[in-house]
Amino acid sequence: MNGGIILATIIALTNQKGGVGKTTTSSALAAGLVSFYNKKVLAIDLDPQGSLGFSLGLDIEDCKTIHDVMTGQVPIQSAIQMTDYCDVITSNILLSSAELDFTSSDRQLLLKNALTPVMDNYDYIIIDTPPALNILTVNAYAAADHLIIPMAPEILSLLGVTQLMDTISSVRESVNPNLNVLGIILTKFNKRTLLAREVKELAENVASQTGTRVFNTQIRTSVTVAEAPAHGLSIFDHSPSGKPTEDYKNFVKEVINMTLNKSAGR
pLDDT in tens, 87-115: 999 998 989 999 899 988 899 999 999 99
Per-residue pLDDT, 261: 67
Provide the pLDDT for residue 265. Answer: 46
Q: Which residue has the higher pLDDT, 43 or 223?
A: 43
Average pLDDT value for residue range 38-53: 94
The band of 266, judged by pLDDT with boundaries at 50, 70 and 90, is: very low
Residue 43, CA atoms < 13 Å, CB-side half-sphere: 36
Q: Worst-scoring range by mean pLDDT, 40-44, 199-203, 207-211, 213-217?
A: 207-211
Q: What share of the chain is helix, strand, coil (3-state, %, to 5)?
A: 50, 15, 35
Confidence of residue 4 (pLDDT cuts 50, 70, 90): low
Give the mean pLDDT of 153-165: 81
* Average pLDDT estimate for 242-248: 92
| pLDDT over 90 at 69, yes or no | yes
> Which of 119 and 59 is assigned the larger pLDDT?
119
CA gap 151, 161 in Å, rounded: 8
CA distance 174 to 130: 21
Mean local confidence (pLDDT), 184-211? 90
- Write out the H or E segment, with its range, that includes residue 203: helix 194-209
